[in-house]
A = this chain, B = another copy of it.
């Protein structure tokens, strides 16, 4: 086939996928934010049917032929990479029988709903059979795909191109060896930094005002961005002109919603910055680690800095006069950086955070070893929390039920949070060599920070591998020691160690 004709057919095939993908994304967002619970079974059936239609389009044998033909042609950079990634996706799915995929998708939606119910009722037994089903499907699908390969390695590679257990083992060894001793040292000097000012009551209507203020400061524009509420905050890029974030309010502490919205807006700005041509194609589908590097960069490196709050604290203080009238900006920033072993990942401080990830990584390795006894994952969870962080898990809502990821079979996602945090350290260091980041944060010049990220990290989407992006943006290969050093320096200073 003539190259141009092949490209035309390729782009038509992409267009079909866009339509189904947008429908499924919209339905998913709706379900997680506003849909009444009684509709979930009807919804799950229809969602699975449409996912099956998309599956048929993506695994059409003719498309394999077309992609293989194109991969041998001399193509422009974007088409070449796009064909390569689409072939990889084809290989990922095409050996799974369609009906099993449809059944899995329906089960996945019901599992998510049951997780939500189990978490609300603090009852792991409600969720446990669904979790087992998700594990079962994931193992089976990995086996269809490549019976010779380690299932967990396949999953890790899906979420972060080029990663596997060997590399993650090495990465987490660095975390464990360097950060665990520091965490214990900090824990021994808890009294040096106080977060007492974060206690008290923080009514939701005022928190909503703070959300609006932060969105404006960060450049999250209502013309293309929407904020909803969900049990577990997330971001969803529906198109270049339609990116959604969600948040979850807690009335007993304000920093949960504050840092979660800064985190999600980091994802959202990434989505919005991607070349609009790429949206809905595989080039718009950025790997998790790279994506998390931006959310974690926003949340921690920028969002927990003194400079950030120089600009934003006055608004927070005036919105919560009862809580903050006697609290200085410096005191507030110290408080939101307190490090203390705790139960919930999304609310963990920067230093203990990667240990929460390490625990999930070890559990997922265990789950996919094949011979592991999976009947007491809740107990295993609690043991590891005790072992690494020294905390006693009081109930499953604060233990194994806290995260949504396993409920929809996103096994292999967690490690990308830690990896992304490490990428972020390197981006942050590079950015500071070109911009006076603190001055920009303090003066409300966030747009310039965004512009740097757009140019160096965001705009090309998945055109390059994550490692290539790190190299291009920072001028050197990925180096996790930058992350370790950043955390050590930050927490040694804060705790005067």
Contacts and interface: CB of A to CB of B under 8 A. Distances in A.
Interface of A: 15-16, 18-20, 22-24, 26-27, 29-30, 34-43, 45-47, 49-50, 53, 205, 222-226, 228, 238-243, 279-280
Given A35-B238, A36-B224, A42-B240, 15 more contacts: A18-B46, A19-B47, A23-B24, A23-B26, A23-B46, A29-B30, A34-B226, A34-B228, A36-B223, A38-B224, A38-B241, A39-B238, A39-B240, A39-B242, A43-B238
7 contacts: A18-B45, A23-B26, A26-B30, A29-B30, A35-B238, A42-B239, A42-B280
A117 to B, nearest CB: 12
Contact of A279 (B27, B38, B42): B42
Contacts of A43: 22, 238-239, 242
A222 B35 CA distance: 9
A67 B103 CA distance: 29
Given A205-B205, A223-B36, A242 B26 contact: no
Contacts of A29: 30
Contacts of A280: 42
Contacts of A53: 19
A38 B242 contact: yes
Contacts of A45: 18-19
What's the dominant secondary structure at chain A's contact region? helix
A496 B320 CA distance: 55
B242 A19 contact: no
Contacts of A50: 19-20, 23
Contacts of A239: 39, 42-43
B49 A241 contact: no
A39 B241 contact: yes
A222 B50 CA distance: 27
A39 B205 contact: no
A231 to B, nearest CB: 15
Copies in the complex: 2
Which residue of A37, A46, A225 has the most chain B CB atoms within 10 A of its CB atom? Answer: A46
B35 A242 contact: yes
Lowest 5 CB-CB distances: which A-B pairs, in order? A39-B242, A38-B241, A19-B49, A39-B241, A42-B239
Contacts of A222: 36
A206 to B, nearest CB: 12
A242 B46 contact: no
B49 A16 contact: yes
Nearest to A35: B242
Contacts of A30: 26, 29-30
Nearest to A31: B26
Given A22-B27, A23-B46, A50-B20, A242 B205 contact: no
A50 B34 CA distance: 23
A35 B22 CA distance: 12
A30 B33 CA distance: 11
Contacts of A23: 23-24, 26-27, 46, 50
Contacts of A238: 35, 39, 42-43
Given A27-B26, A49-B19, A39 B279 contact: no
Nearest to A28: B26
Contacts of A47: 19
Nearest to A48: B19
Given A29-B30, A30-B26, A205-B205, A224 B19 contact: no
Contacts of A39: 224, 238-242
B42 A241 contact: yes
Contacts of A16: 49
Given A18-B46, A46-B18, A239-B43, A223 B38 contact: yes
Contacts of A27: 22-23, 26-27
